[in-house]
Structure 1
Amino acid sequence: MPMNKLCNLLKLKNEDLLFDKIMQSFKEKITKWDYFINWTKVFGNIDPIEKELNLLNFLIGKEDVETEAYNLIKQYPQVIKAFPTLIAVREKSIDILIDTKNFIYKNYSFNKGKLTDNECKELANFVVNSGIGAILKDKKVKSLVDYATGVEVGLDSNGRKNRGGSLMESLVEEFVSDTCQNLGIQYMPQATSKKIKEQWNIEVVVDKSSRQIDFAINKNGKLFFIECNFYGGGGSKLKSTATEYIEMNRYWNKQGIEFIWITDGAGWKSTLKPLREYFDKADYLLNLEMLKEGLLYTILG
C-alpha cells in the first residue's frame, strides 16, 4: 500500500508516527466569547414582542389575574403572540392534554388576529394554568421584558452544540484564508457545485443536490475540498462521521479532487478506531495543531 501523502510531505518513516502526532495533539476546547450567548438573536426575538410584553406588565400584582387577563386580551388581542416566549416554547400553537384517561387535548393558538369572547376566556385561563398567573400575581417578576430576555437566553443556550461546529469552521477559515492569500490562490466557504461552476467554471458531480462543502480551494484548476468539525465528547456521531468521510474521500478522489478532513476535540480520544480507519484509507487528516504548524500550506504549496 502506498505511503500516506502527508507522511511523504512530512518525511516521516511510517504512518503510525503521523497518526500518533494527530492523536497526541487534540484540543480539549475551542470556546470563544461568542460561544455562550448569541445576543443578537436573543434581542432579535424580543423586539417583535416588546410592546406586547409591556402591555402584559399591567397584570403584575393583580389579585384576580384571570379576570384582568381576560379584559386585557379582549382589548389588546395582540398580546397573545408573546405567550409562547413566556412559557419558553417556539411553537405558535400548543396542544395540552386535559383528560389523561381519554387522551383529550385542548389546542391553544397564539397567532390569531381576532378572538371570540370564548377564546379570550380560554387564553386567560391559559395564563393561570401555565403558572404565569401566579408569578404575576405574587410579583415574582418586575418586568416581563426582562423575564422574556432571560427565557430567550435559556433557549439560546440549546444552540451551543451547533455553535461548536461554527466555531471550528471560523477557526479553520482563519488558516485557510491566510494560506490561500499567501499562495495567491482562491477559496470558497460553504461551497456548492453550482457556486464552483459559476465562480471557477469547474464541473463537480455531487452525490446529492444539497451537498455543501465547508471550504473549496482552487489551485490553478485543481480542487481541494475541506470538511471540519470538533468533538468535545464521544458518541456514535464520531464513528458515523468517520465512515461517511471514508466514502466522501473516495468519491471526490475519483473526480481528481483532493479531500482534507480537519477534525479535533477530546472526544476522539475514546473513539480512535474509526478515526484510524479513515486515516488508513485517506491521504489528509489534520487537526488544529497541525494547521498552526503550517501543514495546510505544505499540502497546497
Structure 2
Amino acid sequence: MKKLSKLLNFNSDDELFNYIISTLKIKGITQWDYFVKWDKVYNNVKPYEVELNILNVLIGKENVHDELSNIILQYPKVVNVIPLLLAIRFNNKSEQKINIVSNLKTFEYDHFDLSIKIPNKEEAENIASFFVGCGLGDLVKDKKIKNLVDYATGVEVGLDSNGRKNRGGHQMEEAVEVYIIEVCQELKLSYLKEANANAIKNAWGIDITLDKSSRRLDYVINNNGKLYFFEVNFYNGGGSKLKSTATEYVNMNQYWNNQNIDFVWVTDGAGWLSATLPLREYFDKAEYLLNLEMLKNGILKRILN
C-alpha cells in the first residue's frame, strides 16, 4: 500500500484513487484576473497615448493617405503605433518589415518598413499606403471609431485573451503556493519557486542532476536536506496532453527517486475525468499524486512530517 494511502487512512490504493477522482475541482479554479490582466493592457497602451491622440485628427478626414503622410513627416513616432492598431507583435523592435502580395500570378510584393525612425517623404507615403491598404484608413475616415486610444485598449484586451490558457496554469500554481507557504512557515522549512539546479545549489548547497538543462521545477521544498520536487497543473478539458504528461511524470518520478528526491505531482480539473487511465498508470508507479482538496485537508504537512 502507498505511503499516501496510509497517511490518509484509506483501506486500499483503489479507495485512494477513487477519492482523488471524486474530489477533482470540476468547476475550475477561475479567479478574477483570469479574464483580462488589466494592468498589462493599460501598461501596453500608455507609452503610445501621445501618438494615438495625434492620429485622432485623422478621424473623419476624407484623404487619410495624404493627411497621414504629412503627420508622419512632422511626428515620425506615430509610425510606432501602427502595429499596435493591427494587433501585431514584432519579435525584433528594430526590424518591423511587412511584405504584401501585390500580384498572385507573379507573386510580386509590396514592401513596407514600420521601423524607420525618421522617414522621408517617399517612405512616409509608403507607410501611409500601408495604413490605408490594411483597412485602418476606412476605419478612421468613416468614423467607425471615436478615439484611437480606446480602440488600442480594445486591441490589447483581445491580445491579452490569448494568454488565458497560460493563466489557468499560473492560477493553479498560485493556489498550490498558498498551501506551500503555510506549511513551510509552520514547519520552518524553505522552498523555491521555478527552481533549476543552480538555484538549488545556491540556496542550499545541494547538487542535483537534471534530466534536461531547461528543466525548472514548479516548487522545491527543502526538509532538512531532503528535497521534495513539485510539478503543478490544472486541466479543464481532455486531450492527448494529459496522457503525455502522465507518461512523462512516470519517468520523472523514477528519475528523482534515484537521487533520493521525492516527487509530488499536484494536478486537478475536469479534464482527468476523461483520462483516468493514464492518471492511474502514474498513480500505480509513484508515491505522491495530490489534488487541491487533499491540500486543503492538510496532506502536505503530513507528507513533510
TM-score (structure 1 length as normaliser): 0.96
**What is the aligned partner in structure 1 of residue 110 from structure 2?**
106
* Deviation for aligned residue 1:74: 2.0
Provide the C-alpha distance between the structure 2 equivalents of 1:105 and 1:209, rounded to a whole number of angstroms: 42
SS of corresponding position for 2:281: helix
Provide the C-alpha distance between the structure 2 equivalents of 1:95 and 1:41, rounded to a whole number of angstroms: 30
Which of the residues 232, 236, 247 maps onto 1:232?
236
SS of corresponding position for 2:106: coil
**What is the aligned partner in structure 1 of residue 256 from structure 2?**
252
* Deviation for aligned residue 1:119: 1.7
**What is the aligned partner in structure 2 of residue 15 from structure 1?**
13
**What is the aligned partner in structure 2 of residue 80 from structure 1?**
79
Provide the C-alpha distance between the structure 1 equivalents of 2:101 and 2:39, rounded to a whole number of angstroms: 35
Provide the C-alpha distance between the structure 2 equivalents of 1:77 and 1:178, rounded to a whole number of angstroms: 53
Which of the residues 18, 23, 26 maps onto 2:24?
26
* Deviation for aligned residue 1:51: 1.3
SS of corresponding position for 1:37: coil
Q: Which amino acid aligns with 2:122?
A: N
Provide the C-alpha distance between the structure 1 equivalents of 2:131 and 2:30, rounded to a whole number of angstroms: 39
**What is the aligned partner in structure 1 of residue 163 from structure 2?**
159
* Deviation for aligned residue 1:190: 1.2
**What is the aligned partner in structure 1 of residue 93 from structure 2?**
none
Give the unaligned 5+ runs of structure 1.
Answer: none
Q: Which moved more, 1:170-179 or 1:108-117?
A: 108-117
Provide the C-alpha distance between the structure 2 equivalents of 1:93 and 1:20, rounded to a whole number of angstroms: 56
For the pair 1:40 / 2:50, whether they are aligned, the reply is no
Q: Which amino acid aligns with 1:63?
A: E
Q: Which amino acid aligns with 1:239?
A: K
Identity of aligned residues (%): 55
Q: 1:217 to 1:231 in 2, by over 3 A?
A: same
Q: Which moved more, 1:285-294 or 1:87-96?
A: 87-96
TM-score (structure 2 length as normaliser): 0.95
Provide the C-alpha distance between the structure 1 equivalents of 2:202 and 2:241, rounded to a whole number of angstroms: 34
* Deviation for aligned residue 1:192: 1.4
Provide the C-alpha distance between the structure 2 equivalents of 1:106 and 1:272, rounded to a whole number of angstroms: 54
Deviation per residue, 1:252-301 (Å, 9 max, x gap): 00000000000001011111111111111100000001111111111112
For the pair 1:53 / 2:52, whether they are aligned, the reply is yes
Q: Which amino acid aligns with 1:195?
A: A
**What is the aligned partner in structure 2 of residue 171 from structure 1?**
175
SS of corresponding position for 2:162: helix
Provide the C-alpha distance between the structure 1 equivalents of 2:57 and 2:108, rounded to a whole number of angstroms: 33
Q: Which moved more, 1:86-95 or 1:166-175?
A: 86-95
SS of corresponding position for 1:12: coil
Q: Which amino acid aligns with 2:207?
A: E
SS of corresponding position for 2:117: coil
For the pair 1:221 / 2:220, whether they are aligned, the reply is no
Structural RMSD (CA): 1.2
**What is the aligned partner in structure 1 of residue 200 from structure 2?**
196
* Deviation for aligned residue 1:68: 0.7
SS of corresponding position for 1:218: strand
Q: Which amino acid aligns with 1:82?
A: V
Q: Which moved more, 1:114-123 or 1:281-290?
A: 114-123
For the pair 1:95 / 2:99, whether they are aligned, the reply is yes
* Deviation for aligned residue 1:71: 1.2
Provide the C-alpha distance between the structure 2 equivalents of 1:171 and 1:95, rounded to a whole number of angstroms: 45
**What is the aligned partner in structure 2 of residue 141 from structure 1?**
145
Deviation per residue, 1:221-266 (Å, 9 max, x gap): 1000111000011111111111111111011000000000000010
Provide the C-alpha distance between the structure 1 equivalents of 2:153 and 2:267, rounded to a whole number of angstroms: 35
Deviation per residue, 1:142-185 (Å, 9 max, x gap): 11011100100110000011111110000000001101111121
* Deviation for aligned residue 1:102: 2.4
Provide the C-alpha distance between the structure 1 equivalents of 2:251 and 2:111, rounded to a whole number of angstroms: 46
Provide the C-alpha distance between the structure 2 equivalents of 1:74 and 1:58, rounded to a whole number of angstroms: 15
Q: Which amino acid aligns with 2:86?
A: I
* Deviation for aligned residue 1:62: 0.5
Give the unaligned 5+ runs of structure 2.
Answer: 91-95
Deviation per residue, 1:75-97 (Å, 9 max, x gap): 22211110011111112333322
Provide the C-alpha distance between the structure 2 equivalents of 1:80 and 1:217, rounded to a whole number of angstroms: 49
**What is the aligned partner in structure 2 of residue 241 from structure 1?**
245
